[in-house]
Amino acid sequence: MWNYFRDIGLGIVTVLTSMGVAWRHLFTRSVTLQYPTEKWTMPERSRMRLFNKIEDCIGCGQCARACPTDCITIQTEKRGKDEPEVFASDGTQIKLRTYVFDIDMALCCYCSLCTFPCPTHCLVMTPEYEYSVYDKLDHIYRFAKEKPLSGKAQKPHSEKTESHGQ
Ligand code: SF4
Ligand code: SF4
């Protein structure tokens, strides 16, 4: 009999304690983020989606050589002597025509090793993290805008032609 009333008392104390916790949180600031209507501001040096400002890319391939997952594909050709000289925004002459610059973000491990050797600082990691797709081939971002004059083949990754970037 004593145990019966003790359990009832414990039950009442437990309910009142939990109600007290619930009531206390009614008057404190909410920490739940209502994603996707609310979003965190990502830290300044977040490593998310890559972006190449292709107008400043000299086609040197240092980024592709640094990449541990081989997810950067570059194809270039020499610009002709009779073509007008082209320069990156930092003044570096662009002697190669980059007609393929693909990054397969489905293979990328976000290490950022490709961005450090880039001599013109055109390859950067952005804070953009919302780029889910239904087809993983849509994660191949094609940045090249120029066509090869030598008639070489393009698009080594797949037949997809859509371009991505900022
Ligand atoms: S972040 Fe790393 S894995 Fe991704 S493309 Fe750059 S070097 Fe390759
Ligand atoms: S390292 Fe920079 S300049 Fe060189 S190919 Fe890569 S993105 Fe272009």
Q: Is the pTM of this model over 0.75?
A: yes
Please indicate, yes or no, if residue 65 is contained in any of the structural domains: yes
Both 76 and 114 in one domain: the answer is: yes
Atom of ligand 1 minimally distant from the CA of 113: 7
The domain in which residue 16 lies consists of 1-31
Please indicate, yes or no, if residue 136 is contained in any of the structural domains: yes
Please indicate, yes or no, if residue 41 is contained in any of the structural domains: no
Cβ-contact 75, 155 below 8 angstroms: no
Partners of 125 in beta bridges = 50
The tens digit of pLDDT for each residue in 46-83 reads 899 999 999 999 999 999 999 999 999 999 999 999 99
pLDDT bin (cut points 50, 70, 90) of residue 163 is: very low
For a substitution probing ligand 2, which of 76, 118, 124, 143 has the most ligand atoms within 8 Å of its CB? Answer: 118
Domain of 77, CATH number, reads 3.30.70.3270
Q: Tell me which H or E stretch contains 75.
A: strand 72-78
48 CB within 6 A, ligand 1 = no
75 CB within 6 A, ligand 2 = no
